[in-house]
Amino acid sequence: MLTAVWMHLDLAERQAAMPRMAGLLRPGGRLVLSLRHGPVPPGRRMFEVTAEETIALAVAAGLRLLLRLDRRPGAQARPGVCWTRLGFEAGA
């Protein structure tokens, strides 16, 4: 499970990390991650990462998309911030 981590990696780091993570999964193993969308807080290293990019990297690494949840900001959320949650499964 990667919670609020993926968007701290730049594109080259994400491209290298996805096959490594997929390689750690047994057949049927699952990877769940969340993507933060919205303004970057001052002093933080974050990149805009789309669900489509992440799904493409995962599929190229041999993972199958199981779940995609796009959440809009709730009443308690930071202004302009929303989340996408993705779930993948390793093939046989």
Q: Identify the band that residue 12 occupies on the pLDDT scale cut at 50, 70 and 90.
A: very high
Mean pLDDT of all residues belonging to the chain? 91
Residue spans per domain, the chain: 6-90
CATH 3.40.50.150 fits 6-90, yes or no: yes
Report the predicted TM-score, pTM, of the whole model to 2 decimal places.
0.89
> What is the model's pLDDT at position 77?
63
- Contact by Cβ (8 Å): 47, 7: yes
CA distances from 65 to 35, 37, 38, 39, 41 (A): 15, 20, 24, 27, 30
Alpha-helical runs (H) found in the chain: 11-24, 51-60
